[in-house]
A and B are shown apart, each in its own frame.
Chain A
Amino acid sequence: MNAPRPVNAIVEQCQALFEDLHFNAVKEWKAAVPGRKAIGYMPVYVPRELVHAAGMLPVGILGGGDALEVIQGDAYYQSYICRIPRSTIELALTGRLDSLDGMLFPSICDVIRNLSGMWQILFKDKYVKYIDVPQNYVDNIGGSFYVHEMQTLREDLGRLRGAPITDAELNASIAVYNDNRAAIRDLYTYRAVKPWQAPTSEVYLLLRAGMVLPPEAHTALVREYLAATDLVPRAKRDNARVVINGSFCEQPPLALIKSIEMSGCYIVDDDFILVTRWLLDDVPANSDPLQELSKAFLHRSASTAAKYDAKREEKGVFLMKQVKTRGAEGVIFAAPSFCDPALLERPMLQDVLGRQKIPHTAFKYAENTGQMAPIREQAGTFADSIKLWSAA
């Protein structure tokens, strides 16, 4: 029996996967069995179960990060548009996404929406689908539309693989992703209880690993990390407990996350890579799969700026729940520059927090932000202010 790996070995594996902008893990997975296909997807959420049920690998594409120099991608975008689409195009134009047989673009904002059309023009040999998730949450209205969207995707993927996707396959995939979501929920719960044992710089790498690994392997990796990190006590600090909000699409550099932690914060919840925990609980895996996925989306999914709040009083409820259930003392709004969803949402959330007397601070970043000192100063001052002036 293999000895359990130490936590740093697990983190190193995740870091290697995160840093690999050639997606070798995807290539290796495809090469292992001839004929395998991989389908990329962008934030915030796609029903990955359908891709998995087709026997394909869902691959989360989150831009090129700070390690990718964008040269060609900049020729496609004006300066006042965020960086994720230009680095994503850069990845594709430089051949780094050649292992993908298709791309899914969920309805998150106009930039990603228009990127789907650009992909259709630039990469005519790839399957491209825009996923329009419903903004009406009534089962026989938005739900019917969403089931139809998923059915279209199901049929397309079936054509791509050469055989229709069965309900049994879908239900099996739902079960696999239920396990994955449960593992992520446990990871987030663990981190909130013992943030010194699960720094977010490590948790983040675990989530990123899930973007290129099959879900079964990712679930095992998350469980392995939880066991390993619990074995070796780490130093506990008197840090301020914060929630990060606004980072659901273009990702901050890893150094930014580390800087926030180094400045005296424990990140006890966040909205990084929401697809990993968008559906809040287990989806029944023994029924009509598309109906169950639809109901889960409509009634039991997370909240983010790209999702309409049907009533005024719903605004900020999810964020407040994060703050309360995770025992957070403040919120850091970390939004990418030019991000319409995050930046338009922010004033409303700040208002809700203000009325609840929850401290908050805000800054903007880009995926290639290099100067961390201002972030450390701002986060550090924020943490200090929480410690100094919050009620005991």
Chain B
Amino acid sequence: MNTIAMPETKKKPVVQKEDAMNLQKELINQNYMELATARANNRKVSATFVPGNLNELLMCFDFARSLPETNALQNGMRKKSGKMIMDAERDGQSEDVCTYVKADLGMMMGGEIGPTGDPLPRPDILLLSYTGCFTFMKWFELVRHKYGCETVMLHVPYQGEGRIQPAMRDYVVKQLKETVIPTLERISGVKFDIDRLRQYMKESVKAEEDLVRVLQSAKNRPSPIDGYFGAVYYIGPIFTAFRGTPEATQYYNVLRQEIEQRVREGKGPITPEGEMGEEKYRLVVEGPPNWTSFRDFWKMFYEEGAVVVSSTYAKVGGLYDFGFRHDPDHPLESLADYCLGCYTNLNLPSRIDMICRYIDEYQADGLLINSIKSCNSFSAGQLLILREVEKRTGKPAAFIETDLVDPRYFSAANVKNRLESYFQMVKQKRTTGVGAGVQPVIPIAAAH
């Protein structure tokens, strides 16, 4: 009797991790544990936003520090956000608004349990760092309204003219001095010590230096990192609760060394499935990633040999690669400049300049825009960004639409289809050299 050979069970690929990755995971989990045990340890809890995250300042008051956006994306990656969003919508939130907000509100409605399954206590203070996103204002107003959390506003003016003006900086510094710091002192019971802030900033600078070196390593061929999918892990500590800590300094030091080793060895980035093969396409990506299908989304790139050499999202919590560093000699002024300089606080012309510069400096083949359905701060104007970048660089650009943490808005087939077409277009443009002032390789007449 013939037997039919059964196909071998396909093993799930083992996610490859290096030391820095493990360190990063430890840091994130450590912070969630600090939050989980905050009440037991008599610690007050703060919440603030990633753009304009004044982590060094919050540390001066011994807060356990929560970042609701990070909580939302962690819930997204763990496939928990879908239900949270629907709970929030049933509770009266519109289907049109930011899914980070709805995931956060839905999580809070479900009891004070965070993404790791550990308690996530309600914050004692919401530091409303109003930087680069209108929705932030309403987010914390909603949390305050529902749960009575005290809120302190830090209004960070928008760089409407494409530069930081002295009056803008002065305004932020004045708010820090006269409203934010006094409020943090009162809530925490800890007196503000500016030397403590300076000390944290000295650490911040070290981490910032190393982060920039890591991000700029992508200028190499092949790029040793993915500046989007990989970079969201790299920016985790510095954009959340660790900038200014020796742990972050250590992490970025280890990371930089690992990446420099990869450069020496001529290696490409590590992906969840191992070393990426041949680098075929180099892209700049604008816009946040989708979190609910993050691995699947990333796979669509590395399977095709596409590496992201630079991204704008990796600057959402601070723009360091054009020279800004926290300055311990002028601590409050540099906190202001940090907030004013976050990516989504830049005007559209500045964002376009930045993307064009990245395409040039990182020798990218083109731009991909991942437009997020519920994020107007990033998304409004991206179609103009696309056309302007194409016009100025001559490089092709592509546009896909997903969402942050609402799984209903990620259509894998649609996204993959568009990406494949885009990679084909990039390849074709490279082959034929179609662009300004370049003759086709194969003359049309000869083709007949």
Q: Which residues of A contact B167 (CB under 8 A)?
A: 145, 148-149
CB pair B380 A114 closer than 8 Å: yes
Do A120 and B348 touch (CB < 8 A)? yes
Check if A35 is an interface residue, CB within 8 A of chain B: no
Chain A CB within 8 A of B301 CB? no
CB distance from B151 to the nearest CB of A (A): 8
Q: Is B144 an interface position by the 8 A CB rule?
A: yes
A315 in contact with B134 (CB, 8 Å): no
Report A-chain residues with C-beta under 8 Å of the C-beta of B380: 77, 81, 85, 110-111, 114-115
Determine the chain A residues whose CB is within 8 A of the CB of B144 once the complex forms.
Answer: 312
| Interface mask (B134-151 → A, CB under 8 Å = 1, otherwise 0) | 110111011011001001
**Cβ of B138: which chain A residues have Cβ within 8 Å of it?**
305, 340-341, 344-345
Given contacts A76-B384, A118-B348, contact A350 B92 (CB under 8 A): yes
* Size class of the contact patch on chain B: 35 or more
Q: How far is the CB of B389 from chain A (nearest CB, A)?
A: 11
Take A135-B153, A348-B141 as given contacts and tell me if A340 and B134 are in contact as well, using a CB distance cutoff of 8 Å: yes
B97 and A340 form a contact (CB under 8 A)? yes
Instruction: Decide yes or no whether B157 CB sits under 8 A from chain A.
Output: yes
Cα A140 to Cα B170 in complex, Å, equals 11
Q: Is A141 among interface residues, defined by CB-CB distance under 8 A?
A: yes
* Contact residue among A81, A141, A337, A346 (Cβ-Cβ distance under 8 Å from B179): A141
| Inter-chain contacts of A115 with B (CB < 8 A) | 380-381
Q: Does A168 contact B (CB under 8 A)?
A: no
Q: Interface stretch among B30-38, B49-57, B370-378, B439-447?
A: B370-378
Distance of B353 from chain A, by nearest CB (Å): 11
Asked if B18 is an interface residue, CB under 8 A from chain A, the answer is: no
Within 8 A of B (CB), among A346-377: 346-348, 350-351, 364
* Complex partner residue of B384 from A113, A116, A121, A305, CB under 8 angstroms: A121
Q: Do A315 and B178 touch across chains, with their CB atoms under 8 A apart?
A: no
- Bound-state CA distance A347–B106 (Å) is 14
Q: Which one, B135, B178, B349, contacts A117 given CB within 8 A?
A: B349
When chains A and B are docked, how far (Å) is the Cα of A309 from the Cα of B349? 31
B352 engages A121 (CB within 8 Å): yes
Q: Tell me which residues from 232 to 285 in chain B have a Cβ below 8 Å from any Cβ of chain A.
A: none
A130 close to B (CB within 8 Å)? yes
A170 to B428, CA, bound (A): 61
B137 and A135 form a contact (CB under 8 A): yes
350-384 of chain B: CB within 8 A of chain A: 351-352, 371, 373-374, 376-377, 379-384
| Given known A110-B135, A340-B135, A347-B93, contact A76–B383 (CB-CB < 8 A) | yes
Which residue of chain A has the shortest Cβ distance to B92 in the bound complex? A347
- What are the residues of chain A within 8 A of B302 when measuring CB–CB? none
A322 in contact (CB, < 8 A): no
Tell me the nearest residue of chain B to A316, going by C-beta: B145
User: Complex: how many Å from CA A305 to CA B383?
Assistant: 27
Nearest-Cβ distance from residue A79 to partner chain B, whole angstroms: 9
Closest residue of chain B to A108, judged by CB?
Answer: B134
Chain A residues closer than 8 Å to B348, beta-carbon distance: 114, 116-118, 120-121
Contacting residues of chain B (16-69) with chain A, CB-CB under 8 angstroms: none
Q: Assuming the A-B contacts A110-B133, A110-B135, A144-B171, are A344 and B101 also in contact, with contact meaning beta carbons closer than 8 angstroms in the complex?
A: yes
Distance A149 CA – B158 CA, assembled complex (angstroms)? 12
Considering only residues 32-77 of chain A, those with a C-beta below 8 Å from chain B are 75-77
Q: Which residues of A contact B371 (CB under 8 A)?
A: 78
Quick one: which of B388-403 are within 8 Å of A by CB? 388, 401
Q: How far is the CA of A369 from the CA of B47 in the complex (A)?
A: 40
Bound-complex Cα distance A237 to B234 (A): 66
A110-B133, A117-B348, A344-B135 are contacts. A81–B379 as well, Cβ < 8 Å?
A: yes
* Bound Cα distance A109, B153 (Å): 17
Interchain CB contact under 8 A, B171 and A340: no
- The answer to whether A389 has its CB under 8 Å from any CB of chain B is no
The residues of B that contact A85 with a CB separation of less than 8 Å are 380
- Output the least CB separation between A97 and chain B (Å): 17
What chain B residues lie within 8 Å of A114 (beta carbons)? 348, 376-377, 380-381
Say how far B84's CB is from chain A's closest CB, in angstroms: 16
| A134 contacts the other chain (CB 8 A) | yes
Establish whether residues B178 and A130, one from each chain, have CB atoms under 8 Å apart when the complex forms: no
A141 is contacted by which of B168, B171, B351, B384 (Cβ under 8 Å)?
Answer: B171
* Interface pair A120/B96, CB less than 8 Å apart: no
| B160, CB-defined interface residue at 8 Å | yes
Given A120-B348, A121-B348: A77 in contact with B160 (beta carbons within 8 A): no
* Interface check B94, CB cutoff 8 A: yes
* B91 close to A (CB within 8 Å): yes
Interface 0/1 of B157-196, CB less than 8 Å to A: 1101100000110110011001100000000000000000
Contact B155 A348 (CB under 8 A): no
| Across-interface contacts of B128 in A (CB, < 8 A) | 308
Shortest CB-to-CB span from A109 to chain B, Å, is: 5
The answer to whether A121 and B388 touch across the interface, beta carbons within 8 angstroms, is yes
Verify A142–B155 contact, CB threshold 8 A.
yes
- Say whether A312 contacts B157, CB under 8 Å: no
Contacts of B70 in A (CB 8 A): none
Which residues of chain A are near B133, meaning CB under 8 Å?
Answer: 110
Given the known A-B contacts A77-B380, A120-B349, are A136 and B141 also in contact in the complex, defined by CB atoms under 8 Å?
no
B347 CB, nearest partner CB in chain A, Å: 4
A118 & B97 in contact (Cβ 8 Å cutoff)? no
Most A CB atoms within 10 A — which of B91, B98, B383, B388?
B383
Q: Which residues of A contact B381 (CB under 8 A)?
A: 76, 114-115, 117-118
Q: A348's closest neighbor in chain B, by CB?
A: B145
Taken together as a complex, chains A and B put the C-alpha atoms of A105 and B348 apart, in Å, by 14
Q: Does A23 contact B (CB under 8 A)?
A: no
Query: Is B343 part of the binding interface, using a Cβ–Cβ cutoff of 8 Å?
Result: no
Do the beta carbons of B175 and A136 come within 8 Å of each other?
A: yes
Q: A320 in the interface, Cβ–Cβ < 8 Å?
A: no
Q: Once the chains bind, are A315 and B141 in contact (CB under 8 Å)?
A: yes
- Please tell me if B338 contacts chain A, counting CB pairs below 8 Å: no
Proximity string of chain A (314-344) to chain B, C-beta cutoff 8 Å, 1 when within and 0 when not = 0100000000000000000000011111011
Any A CB within 8 A of the CB of B313: no
Q: Which of A113, A138, A337 has the most CB of B within 10 A?
A: A113
Tell me if B383 and A347 are in contact (CB < 8 A): no
Point out the residue from B141, B171, B383 that lies within 8 Å of A308, measured CB to CB: B141
In the bound complex, residues from chain A placing their C-beta under 8 Å from that of B382 are 78
For residue B130, CB closer than 8 A to chain A, the reply is yes
- A145 and B148 in contact (CB under 8 A), knowing A76-B383, A81-B380, A138-B178? no
Question: Is A110 in contact with B377, judged by CB distance below 8 angstroms?
Answer: yes
**Docked pose: A345 CA to B94 CA in angstroms:** 10
Of all chain B residues, the one with the shortest Cβ separation from A81 is B380
* Bound CA–CA A310/B150 (angstroms): 10
**Interface: A306 (CB within 8 A):** yes
Closest beta carbon of chain A to B179's beta carbon, Å? 7
How far does the Cβ of B230 sit from chain A's closest Cβ, in whole Å? 27
A343 to B139, CA, bound (A): 12
Across-interface contacts of B153 in A (CB, < 8 A) = 135-136, 308, 310
Q: What are 9 A-B pairs with beta-carbon distances under 8 A?
A: A110-B376, A114-B380, A117-B160, A121-B388, A136-B179, A145-B168, A340-B135, A340-B376, A341-B134
* The 8 nearest A-B residue pairs measured at CB: A117-B348, A130-B160, A344-B138, A343-B94, A145-B171, A135-B155, A114-B381, A110-B376
